[in-house]
Structure 1
């Protein structure tokens, strides 16, 4: 087999656990793109060709930061394949005895001998007898997870001097990884909107709460850029949430109270907003602005925006400050009962929760855990309140149109409006009870 791997000169794909290769010489000949998956990695395929397949290039455009892809190494493998089959002919395990040599683009050739064990579809682990036989023959587990990682080893992360710096770096890196994973999934036509939006908000919250501990010149306008991207994701996500919520509310009504094409009106109204929102997100992901944002986030994974030594007590101080601000805004919102005030309280509760999440790995688990739980609950309840208000506003606008359209009736929309307002009031009272019980 001859496998030629493609990446940017800076190996941006490899940094995000993506591998793109052209394989020749086996029944697996063709283009293969390996993409991270919760249970390992999944493969996307394209027919063998001399040119890079456009459909695979599109998937990795964000991870490649818009750069051109080039061959970075070629791996030649002479494989003796041994298969163990069950009585029904199904593969139990495959043992591949490989002689490997490589020609990296930026160094000399490397050669080695390895045994690769691949499990059949119903085999959960390497059979003990096989493992014992290999060990007795002198085999030992490789320190490299793949052939490519042996030729192009992953670059080590930055040195972080304190537990506080490690906590900030690891938290930020986890969110950046999620944003890049979301980029790949979106380009594949999947729907990672919620997780990507949350990661974007967590990262922005970290910059906002702990900004005094970071290099302001390095952060620059990134907080605003994250807000811009989160807004694009939010426009799509809000349509999904509202559609699901209102569909459930309509289904709960007795049939005799559903007058006219209620579901169809809701579907068409939300779809009219959802399609341009998704188009705007797609266009933004191909823009120079977006790719520049990804490039900055990618750079932070190797050079985090620290300009001085960060102490744990500073981390604790900023976390407490975020919690006090959330408490103050919640008190004000519950007092004046204005939607705008309660919306600000919800956002402050999110920042307090995310700050506590970051504090936990810094050695303050006992202190962080109750705050995470409390502010997560407040965030969820105020989220229910916000959903009720937003849905009621949508229903009011829709009712004014339906009430004057032939064949439609505004009665059911009015009923749904009242139900949403009651749900919002219940959520607000629940938030007040939770806040009062915290200090009782």
Structure 2
């Protein structure tokens, strides 16, 4: 069973001329009461990656390590490379890479094999810095590292490295105090993000350099930069979704929708004969992500509504039933979602997205002002949906029309996001109004879905002989929230004006 630890650390290089570097006296660091020598431990780690180093290119490390108190498999996922923050997911020792960890790198690895890439053997001299109360502040180690390449050529290297790892729950500012002492002793910040990155570089073939930042010039450049950013977001968020981190499913779903929306909006730039099938697959993925996300939103909304009720108006085991209903539905959705992310269809979609941004199907003839024309077209479509919704009488037909208007608002907003770097305030203004309207229409749609859920819960409660009073009360409140949203729509829409005010 894998466990996760948030790791905050800094690495330093010993002075070049000092092969036997020793730690300076750290007892003078503010807050340090004692420096405890924990002795020397020998560590032996084999790092795994694909033959073309896909994990290393993303600053991800996967290793099998023996020696020390935390022997086992370690997967390190970057949280903030600039701050030296990574999540370390650990699993017990085994001969093969644990399934829990292979899933977390699948969006990078796809169907390629994980092979032994590098062996690092370290002699680690460990010291603990403790406060006056005896609590651990940080662990400081001097590592004598010997690296041997196992795949992709031969090569060895060795160096001395100082590593300072903050204790769990510690203040990151403390690392700066330790760093001051180390710099005075001649140490300098490591240029490599990890031991593996340094070993790869010094044994001949370093990790693939990151793609240089886009500097778009043409309309096609702007569209492709946007598509690439959303593709990267899907790949980056995959491990977070598998780990069930907060908001990860929502953010991944948003990235799929942004991609699909951009493909549809900018059909005058990209050949839709090629991109429409990709859009269909993105719609499928968004739908699969949606059930889990929708359940999460519903549960949060209904729980908050219960919290707002006076205690005397909550009759029967309403909270217990809500928790049971939510857990049962979400448990099944989680299992299904992980199966989707492991499915060949999803992996094939990732490969297609790679091909899309690397070899885009650009149309031979593209209109002048393609970005502005696309935003204008989507805005007019959005306006038509709003007018249709306002023309409907209150009821299911209007609910459906408002939901369509919300989807049109999203498409307009995303089209404006693509164009904003080129069009500036003109597109930003459109996007701002579209987002405000999307939020209002989203509140209305959430109320519609909450009422469906409340009817379901009330039916279950009735069948069990429980009071349904509270469900009816919450249903009425949701109706009132929807009515308020509908009343706010006309004046908010009036503020958006028309495309002519932006052109």
TM-score by length of 2: 0.75
Q: How does 1:129-278 map to 2 (within 5 A)?
A: 129-134=181-186, 143-150=191-198, 151=200, 152-157=206-211, 162=217, 164-191=219-246, 192-216=248-272, 218-219=274-275, 221-278=277-334
**Distance in 2, Cα, partners of 1:43 & 1:349:** 40
Partner of 1:30: 72
Alpha-carbon displacement from aligned partner over 1:10-50 (angstroms, at most 9, x marks no partner): 43333443221123455554321111325621111233443
Partner of 1:127: 179
**Distance in 1, Cα, partners of 2:209 & 2:267:** 27
Partner of 2:46: 4
1:23 alignment partner, SS class: strand
1:130 alignment partner, SS class: helix
User: Are residues 320 and 77 of structure 1, via their aligned partners in 2, closer, same or farther at CA, if it must alter by over 3 Å?
Assistant: farther
User: Are residues 146 and 269 of structure 1, via their aligned partners in 2, closer, same or farther at CA, if it must alter by over 3 Å?
Assistant: closer
**Distance in 2, Cα, partners of 1:50 & 1:116:** 30
Q: How does 1:32-431 map to 2 (within 5 A)?
A: 32-38=74-80, 40-71=85-116, 73-77=117-121, 79=123, 81=125, 83=127, 85=129, 88=132, 90=136, 94=140, 96=142, 98=144, 100-103=146-149, 105-109=151-155, 111=157, 113=159, 115-121=161-167, 122=171, 123-125=174-176, 127-134=179-186, 143-150=191-198, 151=200, 152-157=206-211, 162=217, 164-191=219-246, 192-216=248-272, 218-219=274-275, 221-300=277-356, 303=358, 305-307=360-362, 313-337=369-393, 338-360=398-420, 362-399=421-458, 402-403=461-462, 405=463, 407-431=465-489
User: Are residues 94 and 374 of structure 1, via their aligned partners in 2, closer, same or farther at CA, if it must alter by over 3 Å?
Assistant: same
1:148 alignment partner, SS class: helix
8 Å CA contact 2:264, 2:272 repeated in 1: no
Q: What is the root-mean-square deviation of aligned Cα atoms in Å?
A: 3.3
**Aligned-pair CA distance for 1:363:** 3.5
Provide structure 1 residue ranges, at least 5 long, that are not aligned to the other structure: none
**Distance in 1, Cα, partners of 2:380 & 2:454:** 36
**Distance in 2, Cα, partners of 1:155 & 1:169:** 20
Deviates more, 1:254-263 or 1:374-383: 254-263
Provide structure 2 residue ranges, at least 5 long, that are not aligned to the other structure: 1-42, 201-205, 499-503
User: Are residues 11 and 417 of structure 1, via their aligned partners in 2, closer, same or farther at CA, if it must alter by over 3 Å?
Assistant: same
**Distance in 1, Cα, partners of 2:99 & 2:391:** 57
User: Are residues 266 and 305 of structure 1, via their aligned partners in 2, closer, same or farther at CA, if it must alter by over 3 Å?
Assistant: same
Instruction: Tell whether 2:76 aligns with 1:20.
Output: no
**Distance in 1, Cα, partners of 2:123 & 2:220:** 46
8 Å CA contact 2:57, 2:207 repeated in 1: no
Q: How many residues align?
A: 432
8 Å CA contact 1:2, 1:74 repeated in 2: no
8 Å CA contact 1:349, 1:379 repeated in 2: yes
Alpha-carbon displacement from aligned partner over 1:299-344 (angstroms, at most 9, x marks no partner): 556x152536889932232122222222221222122251111111
**Distance in 1, Cα, partners of 2:62 & 2:356:** 24
1:118 alignment partner, SS class: strand
8 Å CA contact 1:31, 1:48 repeated in 2: yes
**Distance in 2, Cα, partners of 1:145 & 1:308:** 41
**Distance in 1, Cα, partners of 2:457 & 2:182:** 67
8 Å CA contact 1:260, 1:407 repeated in 2: no
2:153 alignment partner, SS class: coil
8 Å CA contact 1:219, 1:305 repeated in 2: no
Deviates more, 1:200-209 or 1:260-269: 260-269
User: Are residues 107 and 319 of structure 1, via their aligned partners in 2, closer, same or farther at CA, if it must alter by over 3 Å?
Assistant: farther
8 Å CA contact 1:163, 1:312 repeated in 2: no
User: Are residues 189 and 366 of structure 1, via their aligned partners in 2, closer, same or farther at CA, if it must alter by over 3 Å?
Assistant: closer
2:360 alignment partner, SS class: coil
8 Å CA contact 1:85, 1:92 repeated in 2: yes
**Aligned-pair CA distance for 1:373:** 2.0
**Aligned-pair CA distance for 1:93:** 7.0
TM-score by length of 1: 0.84
**Aligned-pair CA distance for 1:251:** 3.3
Deviates more, 1:253-262 or 1:329-338: 253-262
Structure 1 segments, 4+ long, off by >6 Å, are 158-161, 309-312
